[in-house]
Structure 1
Amino acid sequence: MKNEVFLLREGFSASPLSDEVIERITGKTYKENSEIDLDDLSYLQIRYIDFSHNIADGEMIVHKSLAKEVLEIFEMLFEAEYEIEKIKLCDEYDGDDEASMADNNSSAFNFRNVAGTQELSLHALGRAIDINPLYNPYIVGEEISPANSIPYVDRSKDFSHKINHHDLAYKVFASKGWKWGGDWENSKDYQHFYKPKGNPVKSAVDKLKKLVTE
């Protein structure tokens, strides 16, 4: 798939990573690896409504195959005046995911493992986005991330910016086929939306099974 410049509307655009962006992310959120190349990523400019309900402009990096639909997702959120505190590259925090979450930064690409594991995160492939993470923590066992999100662990409480099945962010991401970490059974990641890469072999097998049973 070719990585092209795409303009959805004013404030919503996608383009290949410029030399300036590559310089900013190298050694921080991007490290040399065998899983994803810089050419696989798209740089997005995104307009959103901040917590003061002002129009703001942010930036995000995602896999190029998802660029158009991510812009469409954020355009829908913008049109509905859904509040997001900030959208910055995680490189503004030197690639430190905990620091980014603690500052309630909504972000996507970061070549890293799932916290506490050796498993590569979908953020490393530009296929995951965290929204208002301070208010929507990651919880596994006794671990809570970010650490300053303890007031928002109890999801039975009513507070602003809480993502659940009734929240617009959930509905919009789900409408595009994205999954939500709040639906996990063994842990909860309420900030986390993701779109796994499809398995072409599995898809072919599933189609064959369907044909056989029809």
Structure 2
Amino acid sequence: MAYDYPPEILSIYLSDDGGSDLTFYALLEASRFSKHWIPFCKKFKVDPRSPAVYFGTTSEPHDTEHGNEWLSTKKLHEEMANLIDTAVKLGLIPSEIRAEHKGFAEWHSVVNSGIHHTILQILIDGRDPNAVDIEGSALPTLVYMAREKRPQHPHNFKAGALNALVIFTCLYVETRATGRVKGQREQDPINSWAGSRDGPSPFSSWTFGTSPSS
């Protein structure tokens, strides 16, 4: 979410084949932290953009303003991580947290990771003018998706998951089309497993993908 890329054309999709409410909860907490982390990255030109890596490899800056914000943002990150770790250790989401977001209701009928309906939740909607960070700047779209899985139907593993995301992306882009942007946009998936942590990654990926020699 903290990529150095225009938020109005940046969408983050998390494909959770396990259909876990713990993964959804982690993404929900990350969406809240992003409202502080993204403006911090922009203001101080942070690199790498992964908060765990950044705070694990840097020390408190000597500059007073930078140092104060570094400490407060680091504390928020630690609080987020502790909340998620606690939920994982307990193996469940506390009832008071479940009441905070309607998306948790999707898990009332989930049987297990191999048998469940489609779960689709837009945690941050780029079409919403109120979807902003603490500085009032627009946030990128953030989506959780767990495709339907049934034992009698082959799910084609990762290829099937990506196909489900592509279908949803096409539908979502169509609904948010304006006079300035119409129809389907180019889709350039960047796999988080590849360790994409630097701000310019989308530009680098796009440049490579559109190069005549690629």
Using the size of structure 1 for normalisation, the TM-score is 0.26
Instruction: Name the one with the larger helix percent.
Output: 2
Instruction: Name the one with the larger strand percent.
Output: 1
Higher relative contact order (CA 8 A, sep 6+): 2
Higher Cα radius of gyration: 2
Using the size of structure 2 for normalisation, the TM-score is 0.26
